[in-house]
Structure 1
Amino acid sequence: MAGGAAIIFLAVGLCFLWRKKKLQFLLNLKGKHEKRGSLEKSQDLLITDGVFTSNREQSNENNMDDLELPFFDFNTITMATNNFSEQNKLGQGGFGIVYKGRLLEGQDIAVKRLSKNSGQGVEEFKNEVKLIVKLQHRNLVRLLGCSFEIDEKVLVYEYMENRSLDAILFDKAKRSSLDWQTRFNIICGIARGLLYLHQDSRFRIIHRDLKASNILLDREINPKISDFGMARIFGTDQTEANTVRVVGTYGYMSPEYAMDGIFSVKSDVFSFGVLVMEIISGTKNRELEALERRKSFGTD
């Protein structure tokens, strides 16, 4: 009698466990489906918003719709950055704030979040995705993926341990760590990245905002060009272009671009020249101009 009751009790228990596991499986399956649906919706939004379509007014290239970019769930990014904590803030630009994050598997990332108050951020976001996702070079920062929802636009990059060049170069306490060999290596690395953009990449790309704060340094102080929000693609037979909307940073702009809106590979070369002077001297270009002005008036 007791044995029969035990068998019945055991059967009921096994049945209960089986139903519980089945329910859990269905819930997990539903969650994955909803997550996949959210990501597909994000991808659809990206595509319909024009991120994956070429801008023929800006370029003769029209084969840029075959991009393969991983999409991150926004909740994953929120967790990685500790809910975009102020303590995780790395810097801020026209696009928005950049945060340090860490994924569950332990990988460090840099997260660029579009500011909702940024007037030009959406266009920069589209441009950054269109251009950098297909660029592969050791001296260009690597885009790992993005997250795109109705109210949130986020780009995910590899994390650069030594942040930006200007943070070291123009800091009196830190610049001593940049010996001449290191500075020479940084100059050569930037030159290689620029040559790739202008000549060796799939598309000829004009960066238009090459400056010390857009040069990131990895653990070994290797330089990587970043921030392609203002970059433009040139056709293979195109030598220059004109714009009524001059963007970039004064002090690094070539005269013909700053005054007439004409830009070409020469514009980036001019910026590179200013950058080389800064790296050698350890002085910001505006300070160099002031120094030259004092010398010309014999006040130094």
Structure 2
Amino acid sequence: MGCLSCFRARQKTVKPLKKDDSYSDSQSAISPGTISRHPSDKVKSKISSESKKESSHEGSTHIAAHTFPFRELAAATKNFRPENLIGEGGFGRVYKGRIDASGQVVAVKQLDRNGLQGNREFLVEVLMLSLLHHPNLVNLIGYCADGDQRLLVYEYMPLGCLEGHLHDLPPEKTALDWNTRMKIAAGAAKGLEYLHDKANPPVIYRDLKSSNILLDEGFFPKLSDFGLAKLGPVGDNTHVSTRVMGTYGYCAPEYAMTGQLTLKSDVYSFGVVLLELITGRKAIDNAKPAGEYNLISWARPLFKDRRKFPSMADPLLQGQYPMRGLYQALAVAAMCLQEQAATRPLIGDVVTALNYLASQTYDPSTYSNGSIKSKSSTSRERRERDRRSSADRYGTNAVLPITDERAHKDQRVYQEDSRSQSRYPSPDLCLKDAGEHCLVDGSENSVRDPANRLILKKRFK
């Protein structure tokens, strides 16, 4: 990630814009007639003289979002009082408000006219969220374009953003537990899957980060801030060439170096977010010592030794996580973060793996000092207990009796499959994928496990 010198500042979204910039860089992101959508109303007001010139390149534009007069939004936020401020980003400040006519609680984002984003990002945001609808995407209620005022009105997310629940927690705030983290990861991946696989043509999010994942009641995640979104490559095209924009620490290395944007660029950014969820560390943290301030630089050496996986877990979890689930989640993150875009998994495979991990609810009462009390022990652990029992009975040099015939049968099958270049490895194989390791147990349940199937598919494809 040291190649990202093109960014102006760390942990800040860099979105350069000049008044005379042509529309060509954003036109592929806002072709409303080509995106699968529900019927919508015509534009009810002029976005601005600049936006009109830009949108004329695409013909008539249809936007389903409601248009608000500035006076109504000022009243909803009590004239944008500081006590109503709930957030601030590259676009501007976000205020909590209540629409008088409907009584609905909303989040109002006001464009900073001196900020890094401009009319282009505003227009892209309105169009994208008007045309794309999914439970894991934030809902755009409307917008305001009175004079030089630019405001976006969203559904209110009561739990704020993911970043606020992972980093710099106040003493009175409880850290996210393992089950909630996996639920958030799976939901965010589903939103990304919709953009990549369900939208037609596909949409590249381009700015996935923990601060852009908002949380509804029950920690239900929704992707927000689509000002940098672009339509993905279609036909024989393999990438979209564009100016490098994004957030330092989350941007895929090949995109930062070449400006060639693909769907796998989003997969890399998702890997960073997933690693944040697992480790509790920031993508970029200048408070950390040299060599650790960049999350990916810190994690890459640790991916190579599974014995160090427990040291990567967020200390705020206090050991309350399933060891096998930790290994699998780290393996998925490691594959998403591979430097070669072609070797990263498709987001659909990531969703399958994370859905499984999220469904495996962790219950601390079934664990005692890291040992599993329930019958869910893996065959590997059972064989280890049998070995110890055999050593106690017959001495340390005794041969292990075959006490688990099924486990040994599975072992022989997987070893034979491994020798024949099958997709299944032997049970003792420590999977190495592009220099990153993950433990894959050889039991039958392990191979049926969707998280492991993703790992195995990438290794033995």
Listed as ranges, the matches of 1:121-200 within 5 Å are 121-172=118-169, 173=171, 176-200=174-198
CA shift, 1:114, in A, is 0.9
Partner of 1:254: 252
- Whether 1:241 and 2:246 are equivalent positions in the alignment is no
Q: 1:260 to 1:100 in 2, by over 3 A?
A: same
Deviations 1:20-42 (A, max 9, x none): xxxxxxxxxxxxxxxxxxxx997
Q: Unaligned stretches of 5+ in structure 1?
A: 1-39, 56-61
Q: Which amino acid aligns with 1:186?
A: I
What code does the residue aligned with 2:66 have? Answer: P
Report Cα offsets for 1:122-170 as digits up to 9, x if no partner: 2210110121111110000010001111121111000000110000111
| 8 Å CA contact 2:66, 2:142 repeated in 1 | yes
Structure 1 residues 246 and 114, CA gap change in structure 2 (3 angstroms):
same
User: Which segment is superposed worse, 260-269 or 43-52?
Assistant: 43-52
Indicate which of 51, 68, 78 corresponds to 1:49. 51
> 1:73: Cα distance to partner?
1.6
Give the Å deviation of 1:202.
3.6
| Cα separation, 2, equivalents of 1:160 and 1:79 | 20
- Alignment match, 2:199: 201
How far is the alpha carbon of 1:203 from its aligned partner? 3.4
Contact 2:232 2:263 in 1 (8 A): no
State the AA in 1 paired with 2:135. Answer: R
Unaligned runs of 5+ in 2: 1-41, 285-292, 303-310, 312-461
Paired position in structure 2 for 1:69: 65
Query: What letter is aligned with 1:70?
Result: H
3-state SS, counterpart of residue 66 of structure 1: coil
For residue 79 of structure 1, what is the amino acid of its counterpart?
A: A
The RMSD of aligned alpha carbons is 2.8
CA distance, structure 1, for counterparts of residue 69 and residue 112 of structure 2:
18
Give, in angstroms, the shift of residue 101 of structure 1.
0.6
Q: Is the Cα contact below 8 Å between 1:96 and 1:121 reproduced in 2?
A: no
Q: Secondary structure at the match of 1:146?
A: strand
Q: Deviations over 1:151-210 (max 9, x none)?
A: 211110000001100001113447744111111110110110000000102431101110
**Does 2:84 correspond to 1:88?**
yes
Residues 131 and 292 of structure 1, relative CA distance in 2, 3 Å threshold? closer
Paired residue for 1:120? 117
C-alpha distance 52-279 of structure 1, shift in aligned 2 (>3 A): same
- Normalising by structure 1, we get a TM-score of 0.76
How many percent identity over aligned positions?
A: 43
